[in-house]
Structure 1
Amino acid sequence: MNRLPFFDNARLILIFLVVFGHMIQPFATDSQLINSIYAFIYIFHMPMFILLAGFFAKGIGEPKYILKLAKNLLLPYFIFQVIYTGLYLLLGREDVYVGILKPQWAMWFLVSLFSWHILLILFKRFPAYVGIPLTVLIGISVGYVDLSSFGLSLSRTIVFFPFFLAGYYMNKEHVVMLKTKGLRIIGLIFAVVLFVFIYSSINIDVSLDTDWLTGAIAYRSLEAEISGSLMRLIIYVLATLLIIFMIAWIPDKNYGYLTKLGQNTLYVYLLHGFIIQPLREFDVLWYDRWYETFIFVIFSALIVLVLSSKPVVTLTRPLVELKWKK
């Protein structure tokens, strides 16, 4: 498939949000502004990342394709699971070893991405108007079961699968159709109103507010056995709307070097923890004033630029892609 600048631009923006979200996370319980930004980002940034992954999953079903997926996703998972465990031990966090089946920090995405491709073999047999609502229903229902003891990011895999399936059904024409001035204006207004609502209603003393957005926690643990299904449905709707508006806003123009960096988002995703985790452990970062948020923005952008640069990609390709040359 010929690369479209829109998708690389979108990936670059989304990986920046991933890094930025992880950087500000330690301060989410200290600042109403940071907590609101964190919650707003987490409503849509991973669902949209997953949607884009589904868009490029058109070839699933052939045995060679599945073997290639296992090599490209599961082997790096095992490698980085070991490396991150070693990092945590070096940082003095000896209680972090949870076994190979329970992903360390952000490694859940690799396991879930492989699982979504496998699930797609079954669900692509349904038309979109059947498959997507069905997976949403399953995603809502799974909240009544505590799957944390099973490992392998099982709950997140099920909860976020509707976005992957929607991405599979999406085509270039859908992207073009959404890129209208009207949607951009509506999206901007909606985003501002939603952020103001989050800022005015979120409780920074209660982590349950943002735990809803991870897809990893059962309703009982969120103290919402009755209202949990409605809350998850609302999050599905909000994520879908924000994704639509993001598609409308993200440019489809080729910005040369910057757009090309969007091809290396997996490197940023896997490697940025080696920067973020030591910064957290040694309290290098701080937050006292609202304008210091821009420091996190700049620092996150620098991390993305460095980790997606050609020297870093060349150096770490044997770990990420299990090959020496591109």
Structure 2
Amino acid sequence: MFHAAHGYERAPAPEVKGPETTPTNRAATALAPAPSGLKSASSTAPEAAGRDSYFDNAKYLAIVLVAVAHAWEPVMDGSRAARALYMVIYTFHMPAFIIVSGYFSRSYQGKPHQLRRLLTGIALPYVVFEVAYSLFVRYANDDPSHPISLLDPFYLTWFLAALFIWRLTTPLWRMVRWPMSIALAIGALAALTPDIGADLNLARVLQFLPFFVLGLCLKPEHFQLLRRRQVRLLTVPVIAGALLFAYWVAPRASLSWFYRSGSVQERGWPWYSGLVVVIALFGCALVLSAAFLALVPGRRAWFTALGAGTICGYLLHGFVIKAGDYWGVFESQAWLGGPLGLVVVTLCAGGMVTLLCSPPVRRVLRFVTEPEMKWAFRQDSAELGPRR
């Protein structure tokens, strides 16, 4: 799913200061952070506040896919084609989001100002929305016994908890010699460990970890390579092949593989064959993520500015989807499972998340997604030095 969400650098160059000190960039960092000083090769339009249109476009398009996939869940059971398309989207939409998040977390070194932003831009929204979703379930779903627990992320808040953990470990991944090999081993072991526990959705956090570490290892030229014309042309047969394969396997495949929230043993598979599926799914996610990022336009478009508000779209669209589920909207309208209904659901979900990413919504939620909270933190010596 961020996505869902501040200041990063060209590794291993010195830390980029622009977005680090710009309050308006904070919300985007929790869900694929806003870039600074990383202009794409084909981008010619002027960028506002040092932002790169390519990555803002990628964030917006990814969050639209997240919302559409969530909206399909209650109505797609009667459509094999919708289930196949859902599987393809779920294979790459969160991995792509996480790769971009890792890419823009490369400058994180655990400095005081970075820790403050980690707390205000990720930890605080997690606490607020975890409580808000829990209260929403209690009253909207008439479930007064639903617990409020910060250790058990509800629905989509898991991504904020995951990003908090991943970013804290960033200095370690930048220090070790074989980060991808280690991250893949950890992800595989997490998929083979039935008793890993549900706290902070740790099984999912560890299984998605390799995508974040991959983002840490990437450089600007890797994204420029993806956007070459030859690579873009290759995405057509890749996506077509993925759709055909998904359509063939859709009636037999368990969707739990794509959520990565449990072990292979819990799905009834032996560890050795389940490990093959885990590795294959990682490879498919990597290829489809590359195809998605290759197709993202690099120039400024009408939706580019919305990429700065993806944290709002990510955190708010869940209320709308869950409300439709709790209030029986999807069950009472059986026609939504048909071809026309799925088109309507897709358009409504895309329009909804577009509005939720808009600047007015972002301004309203700034107090929780991009708070300064200077009153809560001491000023470190590096900040006081220039003033003295």
Kindly provide the amino acid, as one letter, of the partner of residue 251 in structure 1.
P
CA contact (8 A) 2:96 2:293 kept: no
Tell me which residue corresponds to 1:87: 136
Tell me which residue corresponds to 1:50: 98
- Give me the TM-score of the superposition, normalised by structure 1: 0.92
Residue 236 (structure 1) aligned to one of 263, 269, 282? 282
Residue 297 (structure 1) aligned to one of 322, 346, 349? 346
Measured in 1, the distance between the counterparts of 2:364 and 2:166 equals 29
CA contact (8 A) 1:145 1:218 kept: yes
How far 1:148 sits from its partner (Å)? 5.5
Tell me which residue corresponds to 2:18: none
Measured in 1, the distance between the counterparts of 2:111 and 2:118 equals 10
How far 1:58 sits from its partner (Å)? 2.1
In structure 2, relative to structure 1, the CA distance for the partners of 1:137 and 1:308 (3 Å cut) is same
1:31-180 pair list within 5 angstroms: 31-64=79-112, 65-91=114-140, 92-97=142-147, 99-127=149-177, 130-147=178-195, 149-180=197-228
Kindly provide the amino acid, as one letter, of the partner of residue 9 in structure 1.
N
Tell me which residue corresponds to 2:298: 252
How far 1:215 sits from its partner (Å)? 1.4
Tell me which residue corresponds to 2:327: 282
Residue aligned with 1:104, SS: coil
Kindly provide the amino acid, as one letter, of the partner of residue 248 in structure 2.
S
- Give me the TM-score of the superposition, normalised by structure 2: 0.78
Question: Which portions of structure 1, spanning 4 or more consecutive aligned residues, are displaced by more than 4 angstroms?
Answer: none
How far 1:192 sits from its partner (Å)? 1.1
Residue aligned with 1:109, SS: helix
Tell me which residue corresponds to 1:270: 315
280-289 vs 184-193, which deviates more? Answer: 280-289
Residue aligned with 1:262, SS: helix
25-34 vs 157-166, which deviates more? Answer: 25-34
How far 1:121 sits from its partner (Å)? 1.7
CA contact (8 A) 1:27 1:35 kept: no
Tell me which residue corresponds to 1:225: 270
In structure 2, relative to structure 1, the CA distance for the partners of 1:148 and 1:62 (3 Å cut) is closer
7-16 vs 172-181, which deviates more? Answer: 172-181
CA contact (8 A) 2:309 2:359 kept: no
How far 1:188 sits from its partner (Å)? 1.4
For structure 1, the 5+ residue unaligned runs are none
The structure that is helix-richer by fraction is: 1
Kindly provide the amino acid, as one letter, of the partner of residue 254 in structure 1.
R
CA contact (8 A) 1:264 1:308 kept: yes
Measured in 2, the distance between the counterparts of 1:95 and 1:188 equals 49
Corresponding position: 1:315 with 2:364: yes
CA deviation map 1:86-117 (0-9, x unaligned): 11111113454262200011000000001001
Kindly provide the amino acid, as one letter, of the partner of residue 62 in structure 1.
G
Tell me which residue corresponds to 2:386: none
How far 1:59 sits from its partner (Å)? 2.0
Measured in 1, the distance between the counterparts of 2:185 and 2:91 equals 18
CA contact (8 A) 1:141 1:229 kept: no
Max Rg structure: 2
Task: Give the CA RMSD over aligned residues.
Answer: 1.8
Residue aligned with 1:106, SS: coil
Residue aligned with 1:275, SS: helix
How far 1:24 sits from its partner (Å)? 0.5
CA contact (8 A) 2:231 2:294 kept: yes
Measured in 2, the distance between the counterparts of 1:323 and 1:66 equals 13
CA contact (8 A) 1:54 1:166 kept: yes
State the identity %: 25
How far 1:320 sits from its partner (Å)? 2.1
Kindly provide the amino acid, as one letter, of the partner of residue 233 in structure 1.
I
Count of aligned pairs between the two proteins: 318
50-59 vs 24-33, which deviates more? Answer: 24-33
Residue aligned with 1:105, SS: coil
How far 1:147 sits from its partner (Å)? 4.7
For structure 2, the 5+ residue unaligned runs are 1-35, 38-50, 374-388
